[in-house]
Structure formats: C-alpha cells, structure tokens
Chains A and B, each alone.
Chain A
C-alpha cells in the first residue's frame, strides 16, 4: 500500500530564513512521482515541485528544492529565503497508478 507521512503539523520560520518540511513515503511501485503543493487560505492547490523516482538529481524550482533520498524514502521540501507570502499549508503527494496520495500537510507560518 502507498502512504505519505508528514510529521510536522505546524512550523514557524523567520522571514528570509530557510525552512525544511519533512515528507516520508512508502510504495512498492518501481516508478512514482513525488510532489509538493501549497494551499493558501483561499483553498486552491498550487503545484510547487516534482521529483521522479528515477531522477538522479534533486529537483529545484526557484526558491523551492526537493531533497530526495530514495533509500530513506524521504522527499523533503526546502524553501530558501522565506517570504510572508509563503505562509500556507504544504502537502506532500505521491503519484501512483492513476491516483495521488496526499500527506496530512504542514502549516507553515512565516514571521516578520
């Protein structure tokens, strides 16, 4: 069975500092994708970053990077230089056969 675990229900970070949001996963599929989404209070899910299971290098998208450690089955999101607008819920997700599995999310609050 597939599973995504986010153990940090809430996090605080000072503006302009970096923060790491944890995500571990479990799957028996040889090929899968790992994603991070941001959900502001408005409710819309915003795609941040994607990592394929066969990708050798960690994915990066602007201030977002995904620290992919396949042997540990972890896919942590690193946000550099946090901004006030980064305050939101962050979900880690994994793609399986025709469906996604989401973690329970981490609420990030950026402090001025």
Chain B
C-alpha cells in the first residue's frame, strides 16, 4: 500500500505570495490532518478534514486554509506569506473513524519564505 505523499517537497516563496501544498492520503483513509513544524514552536496542529469537511482546527490565522476533495486528497493554502511561515508542513492520514487513532505521516513540504 502506498504511503502518504506530499507535493512539492521543497518550496521557496517570497513574502506576500501565496502557496498551495498538496497531500494524498493512504488509499482508504478519509481523514487528513495538517501540521506546521518549526524549531521554535514544535509541531502544531493546523486542521483536520474528514469526508470533505473540516472537523477541527488549531489556532492559526485565517491566512491558513485547507480543503479536501472527494478522493480524500487535501490541499493547504497559505495566503500573504510571512517570514514566520517558513516551516516543515506535515500531513497525516488515518481512517478517521472508530479507534483508528494511528496517523500515518507524509514526508513533509519544507517551505522557505524569503
């Protein structure tokens, strides 16, 4: 079974631009969660999608948004990029129901904002 894939793996953007990151979950997984990882703040939860609906979100500004498609693939968008948005963005998938607590992570997208 193929793992979680994220594209692109690396990205360099300029302040003020916007960026879209993509995540394809493991086949059959309906839940996709996004995390931001920085040296200073550690791993922080952004949001979680299940069956195309956002079920939960963390404490990030509205510049961070996401969506999920009918095939469970998810995208995350960051508008008006700031230097502090430079981070490793990880997505994780799981079945999303029952006791399916285990999450499977993708390799991440490393975003650098200059």
Contacts and interface: CB of A to CB of B under 8 A. Distances in A.
Interface residues of B, number: 25
State the main secondary structure of chain B at its contact with A. strand
B43 interface: yes
A99 B108 contact: no
A19 interface: no
B92 A43 contact: no
A99 B110 contact: no
Nearest to B46: A99
Interface residues of A, number: 22
Interface stretch (B13-21, B61-69, B70-78, B96-104): B96-104
Interface string A22-44: 00000000000101010000111
B55 A35 contact: no
Contacts of A12: none
Nearest to B109: A43
A43 B10 CA distance: 12
A90 interface: no
State the main secondary structure of chain A at its contact with B. strand
B5 to A, nearest CB: 11
Given A43-B88, A50-B101, A99 B107 contact: no
B56 interface: yes
B42 interface: yes
A97 B90 contact: no
A98 B50 contact: yes
Contact of B104 (A33, A43, A47, A105): A47
Contact of A101 (B45, B50, B55, B101): B45
B33 interface: yes
Contacts of B108: 43-44
Contact of B101 (A37, A46, A91, A95): A95
B52 to A, nearest CB: 14
A91 B102 contact: no
26 contacts: A42-B107, A43-B88, A43-B90, A43-B108, A43-B110, A44-B105, A44-B108, A45-B90, A45-B92, A45-B105, A46-B105, A47-B103, A50-B102, A52-B101, A95-B101, A98-B31, A98-B50, A98-B55, A98-B56, A99-B48, A99-B56, A99-B58, A100-B33, A100-B35, A102-B43, A104-B42
